Amino acid sequence: MLGARGLRPALRACSSAARAGRAPAARLSVRDALGAPNASGQRVKVQGWIRSIRSQKEVLFLHVNDGSCLESLQVVADPSFDSRELAFGGSVEVQGQLVKSPSRRQNVELKAEKMEVIGSCDATAFPIKYKERYPLEYLRQFPHLRCRTNTLASVLRIRSEATAAVHSFFKDRDFVHIHTPVITSNDCEGAGELFQVEPSSRIKDLEENFFGVPAFLTVSGQLHLEVMSGAFSRVCAFGPTFRAENSQSRRHLAEFYMVEAELSFVDSLRDLMQVMEELFKATTEMVLSSCPEDVEFCHRFIAPGHKDRLERMLRNNFLIISYTEAVDILKKASQDFTFAPEWGADLQTEHEKYLVEHCGNIPVFVTDYPMALKPFYMRDNEDGPQRTVAAVDLLVPGVGELFGGSLREERYHVLEQRLASLGLTEAYQWYLDLRRFGTVPHGGFGMGFERYLQCILGIDSIKDVIPFPRFTHSCLL
């Protein structure tokens, strides 16, 4: 609480106001207070954290923020409110009159009548200091506090708006949202290393599993979405996925979010690519419209120049090249690659970066990969000795692969032979059943949500676009 010097005058003022029959203060968020159309002295109550404090002889200025927007609300108070408990990082409740501000820097300010410290903050011990601009790497060591910085707060508001935009995109196009399981007995063959799930409270019996079969944290909801695409022609999922990859790269996490979709009665990769491009552009336009200040903050202070690159991505049609064309482009490049490009070898990060730059820093779809590089469920192109499948990856500037998708092999006998050659027939009998009972041409894709945020904001490390990053040797909180 405030000291007697500051609190008692406030309490006397409030109690006398109450006796006079004054209407109670309306509680507003900082965002609503800043956007109030008529700041003509209406009494309001604002709660938040102190972002700055400046005491003068005749007036006390505070800036209070509650996370609802980037900008803080200026509070103007009598200096008698000043107290050692009023400090950067502390939480307060302020009641007073919302009035027009004489300053050009803001439209409104709150003239305080009552102020209460809810939670004090020892500013000397607080690892985040006023006016300091910290590297994102430094802030990662404080996952419980970094959300209080302007940078992480802006990123997380954008993440929230992007989540809503993704859901809106699918809902407006009649997709049915499916909650695919986090614990699964399949490994979505070839999608990555797995985390196995076992109870922690019992001695592990090598001959017994809790679920009766080995169980894992999901690496993808795709196969479960394929099940649902046999009943709903358009389905989607948006949830956490887990991959036990021993990587510290700026593009990899052990836990991340995937946006996935499956479409029935689709027999062309171009149909899939159209939905991918529409998803990227529509989601981004909604984000730019709903939180322009936060996006502008990121582009200005984290990634100068990225605004122009993003506008270029949105303005142009995405390009399309085949895997074979991509390898030819790489072989003709004057650049020396760490991994020599060869037909039949996977594209490395350095290859993806070169291809995007070669295409004018416009997102580019790469299609028709060698069958040996892709999982069993992708549709055989039946193109002779090359043996490619109807797969597609979308490469974007600064990130590399953002989307991955394919047409699925819907032909029972073709899929049966593929599974038999891999020794997977018994494990995937249920998957064959989907082809036995009312199969249709279909396809789908997945988009890494954190990589999407990296792409639109220009943030270098994936660890800085998720609230609590999990990666090799790090699981803080």
pLDDT digits 0-9 by tens, 10-62: 433 443 344 445 667 889 999 999 988 877 888 999 999 999 999 888 899 99
* pLDDT, mean of residues 431-456: 96
Distance CA 416, CA 429 (A): 9
Task: Indicate the angle between helix axes 269-290 and 306-315, nearest 10 degrees.
Answer: 140
SS3 content of the chain, % helix, strand, coil (to 5): 35, 25, 40
384 φ, ψ (degrees, to nearest 5): 80, -150
Of the pLDDT bands very low, low, confident and very high (cuts 50, 70, 90), residue 218 is very high
Beta bridge partners of residue 24, listed in sequence order: none
Residue 183 has pLDDT above 80, yes or no: yes
pLDDT (tens digit per residue) in 77-92: 988 887 788 999 999 9
Q: Rounded to two decimals, what is the model's pTM?
A: 0.90
Q: Would you call 40 exposed, middle or buried from its count of C-beta atoms within 10 A (0-12, 13-18, 19+)?
A: exposed
Residue 447, pLDDT score = 97
297 compared with 474, residue with greater pLDDT: 297
pLDDT (tens digit per residue) in 284-318: 999 999 999 999 999 999 999 999 999 999 999 99
Residue 196, pLDDT score = 87
Residue 450 has pLDDT above 90, yes or no: yes
Residue 7, pLDDT score = 39
- Which of 118, 2, 104 has its CA nearest to residue 50? 118
State the DSSP string of 374-396.
S-TTBPB---GGG-EEEEEEEEE
SS3 assignment, position 404: strand
* pLDDT, mean of residues 160-185: 97
* pLDDT, mean of residues 134-156: 94
5 φ, ψ (degrees, to nearest 5): -60, -40
Percentage of the chain beyond pLDDT 70 is 93
Q: Which two tokens stand for residue 430?
A: 């249920």
Residue 8, pLDDT score = 37
- Residue 453 CB neighbours (<10 A): 24
Give the helix/strand (H/E) hosting 152.
helix 150-172
- Which of 60, 59, 63 has its CA nearest to residue 89? 63
230 compared with 207, residue with greater pLDDT: 230
Of the pLDDT bands very low, low, confident and very high (cuts 50, 70, 90), residue 9 is very low
Considering the chain, what is the average pLDDT of its residues?
Answer: 90
